[in-house]
Each structure stands twice: as structure tokens, then as C-alpha cells.
């Protein structure tokens, strides 16, 4: 096969054919490393993101005095170059700027928001659609089908943990 290609190239060159140049370029799309990782506890303003296949999930958190606000953006690259996406915003008010609020990342598409004292809400999206709402409101457990992850329960104050099924202590991972 190589000999035939070499003879063809030699014949074309000796016959005075036009020289054709083929240039191939490739480019890579720069993506930031995943920071919206399961088990992460967010306690400050910033931007976190996760990429999976053609989908990007991004969480922007803003803190101002007693207010925490966030925007969740989802973008999916479609075959053929198009894209589809959605965005949602929400927030919470703290009783004091020093309240120990946090956002718990169960997964990039399953987020839990605690106001540091009495309220825990969720924003979950998966194959069954998107849903959000209160899991604990004004210090009282709300009726919901959403199961609060054990690692999140461990982060809640003892008075809220008492309202939930007991969670076994976290096991230490063996070192290698």
C-alpha cells in the first residue's frame, strides 16, 4: 500500500501537478476542574461547577450581610452544535451574618441549603425532573419524600438531628 502511495506521489510530482496542502487543526475546549463534588460543604461566596458528558452544572453563591443567594445553571451541549439549558435562583435570610449556614452537595444536581439555625431546603434534579422545597422549616421536620443524606444530618445542630432517624457515626477510612 505504501509503495502504491509513493509511486502515485512521484507520478503526480513529475507530471507537474498543482501542489495541494491540507492543514488539519484541532482545538480543545478549556474547562475548569470540577468543584461541585459530592460531599462538599460550601460556606462562602463563589462559583462551583461540574461537568459530566455534555452537561455542565454551575452554582453561583453570593453573600451580602444577612442574605445568601444562589443561581443554579444547567447547560447541555446538543448533537449538531446547539445547546439547551436552564437557570434558577433562590436565597435565604439569616438571623445573623454569623449564623453557620452551609450548602451541602449531595451530587452536582442534588443540593441542600441550611440557614444555620432552623431551615433546610433542597433543590434536586434528575431523570424524574426538578423539585425543591423545605425539608425542615422553623425547626420542624416537613413531610417530604426526599431523604436527607446521612453526611448532611451529621452537619445539622443536635436539636434538628433529634427529629431525624438516627445516623450511625461516620467510619474512619483505613489508611494505606
Contact 57, 76 (CB under 8 A): no
Strand order, beta sheet including 55-64: 46-52, 55-64, 67-77, 83-93
The per-residue pLDDT for 32 is 67
User: Is the pLDDT at 48 greater than 70, yes or no?
Assistant: yes
Q: What is the pLDDT of residues 115-156, one digit of tens each?
A: 999 999 999 988 767 899 999 999 999 998 899 999 999 999
Contact 122, 132 (CB under 8 A): yes
Q: What is the pLDDT of residues 118-129, one digit of tens each?
A: 999 999 988 767
The per-residue pLDDT for 21 is 40
The per-residue pLDDT for 27 is 36
Amino acid at each position: 500500500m505504501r509503495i502504491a502511495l509513493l509511486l502515485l506521489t512521484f507520478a503526480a510530482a513529475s507530471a507537474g501537478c498543482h501542489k495541494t496542502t491540507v492543514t488539519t487543526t484541532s482545538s480543545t475546549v478549556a474547562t475548569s476542574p470540577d468543584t461541585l463534588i459530592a460531599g462538599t460543604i460550601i460556606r462562602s461566596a463563589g462559583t462551583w461547577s461540574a461537568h459530566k458528558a455534555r452537561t455542565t452544572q454551575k452554582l453561583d453563591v453570593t453573600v451580602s450581610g444577612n442574605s445568601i443567594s444562589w443561581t443554579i445553571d444547567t447547560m447541555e451541549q446538543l448533537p449538531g452544535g446547539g445547546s439547551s439549558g436552564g437557570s434558577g435562583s433562590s436565597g435565604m435570610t439569616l438571623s445573623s451574618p454569623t449564623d453557620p449556614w452551609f450548602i451541602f452537595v449531595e451530587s452536582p444536581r442534588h443540593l441542600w441549603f441550611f440557614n444555620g439555625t432552623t431551615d433546610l431546603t433542597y433543590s434536586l434534579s434528575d431523570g424524574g425532573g426538578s423539585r425543591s422545597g423545605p425539608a425542615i422549616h422553623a425547626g420542624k421536620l416537613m413531610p417530604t419524600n426526599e431523604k436527607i443524606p446521612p453526611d448532611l444530618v451529621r452537619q445539622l445542630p443536635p436539636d434538628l438531628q433529634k427529629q431525624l432517624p438516627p445516623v450511625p457515626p461516620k467510619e474512619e477510612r483505613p489508611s494505606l
